């Protein structure tokens, strides 16, 4: 049934193939008129008719820190899916879909309630997260 579905007639149009001979109605100049800059194919998007482009009028701002270390963020409330007494590391978080890759650096934040008796291995943890985990009888291990 689903393989028989198709768009309503007239809902989809063929693309216009310009510059393909006099029979097409869009031969020679391909609907671009005669002469002038608008007929060219290589006019930069930022071109403003000779006026100084905005990208050159405005000053540069900020910088990119080449030493930045990106972290995947996990909140304490997200750890509830592991149950009580679980050992949680990057691989376990990746399997459950809480972070993208098991090799990613992980930071634990303290939003929500902590599961009881969990051992958590992360690269960084906020003070509130560590307090909540330890209050629930668990431990936080900071890995290099």
pTM above 0.85, yes or no: no
C-alpha 44/C-alpha 42 separation (Å) is: 6
User: For the domain bounded by 72-142, which CATH number is listed?
Assistant: 3.100.10.10
For the segment 10-53, what is each residue's pLDDT rounded down to a tens digit?
999 999 898 898 888 888 888 888 998 888 888 888 999 999 99
For the segment 73-98, what is each residue's pLDDT rounded down to a tens digit?
999 999 999 988 899 999 999 999 99
Question: According to CATH, where is 3.100.10.10 located in the chain?
Answer: 72-142
C-alpha 133/C-alpha 118 separation (Å) is: 7
φ and ψ at residue 107, rounded to 5 degrees:
-120, 130
Report the pLDDT value the prediction gives residue 1, as an integer from 0 to 100: 84
């Amino acid at each position: 049934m689903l393989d028989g579905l198709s768009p309503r007639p007239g809902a989809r149009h063929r693309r216009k193939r310009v510059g393909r001979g006099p029979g097409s109605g869009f031969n020679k100049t391909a609907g671009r008129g005669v002469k002038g800059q608008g007929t060219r194919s290589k006019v930069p998007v930022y071109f403003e008719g000779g006026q100084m482009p905005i990208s050159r009028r405005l000053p540069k701002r900020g910088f990119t820190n080449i030493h930045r270390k990106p972290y995947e963020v996990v909140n304490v409330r997200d750890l509830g899916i592991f149950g009580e007494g679980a050992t949680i590391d990057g691989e376990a978080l990746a399997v459950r879909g809480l972070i993208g890759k098991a090799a990613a650096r992980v930071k634990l934040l303290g939003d929500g309630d902590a599961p009881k008796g969990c051992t958590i291995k992360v690269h960084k943890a906020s003070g509130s997260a560590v307090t909540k985990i330890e209050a629930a009888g668990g431990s936080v291990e900071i890995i290099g």
